[in-house]
């Protein structure tokens, strides 16, 4: 995994120390994601985010209807960690 190339594509400056730290982390992420290649997807119909391969819009299975939802405070009350009105999540990189 070329961490410098990824950083350049993301328009990020990166130090040698960061390259040394992020290289094994990114390799672990890629290895984890590669497990998806082991899944048998032969019986699953391909989808492209709501578009057909020709770019045509697909139709949803159900009607889109407004339903009651949580308020921000209700959702954050259930969060393991919330900071300044937002969910706090662990850093990935």
Q: What is the pLDDT of residues 1-12, one digit of tens each?
A: 799 999 999 999
Is 82 inside any structural domain? no
Q: What is the pLDDT of residue 59?
A: 67
Is 85 inside any structural domain? no
Residue identified by tokens 């159900």 is: 62
Q: What is the pLDDT of residues 8-58, one digit of tens each?
A: 999 999 999 999 999 999 999 999 999 988 989 888 877 655 666 666 666
Counting the structural domains of the chain, the total is 1
Beta-carbon contacts of 78 under 8 Å, excluding residues fewer than 6 positions away, are none
Domain that residue 14 falls in: 1-36
Q: What is the pLDDT of residues 56-71, one digit of tens each?
A: 666 667 788 899 998 9
Helix (H, G, I), strand (E, B) or coil at 51: strand
Helix (H, G, I), strand (E, B) or coil at 87: strand
């Amino acid at each position: 995994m070329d961490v410098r190339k990824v950083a350049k594509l993301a328009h990020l400056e990166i130090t040698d120390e960061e390259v040394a730290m992020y290289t094994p982390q990114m390799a672990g992420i890629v290895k984890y994601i590669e497990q998806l290649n082991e899944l048998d997807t032969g019986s699953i119909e391909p989808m492209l985010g709501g578009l057909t391969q020709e770019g045509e819009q697909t139709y949803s299975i159900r009607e889109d209807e407004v339903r009651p939802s949580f308020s921000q405070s209700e959702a954050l009350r259930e969060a393991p960690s919330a900071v300044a009105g937002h969910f706090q999540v662990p850093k990935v990189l």
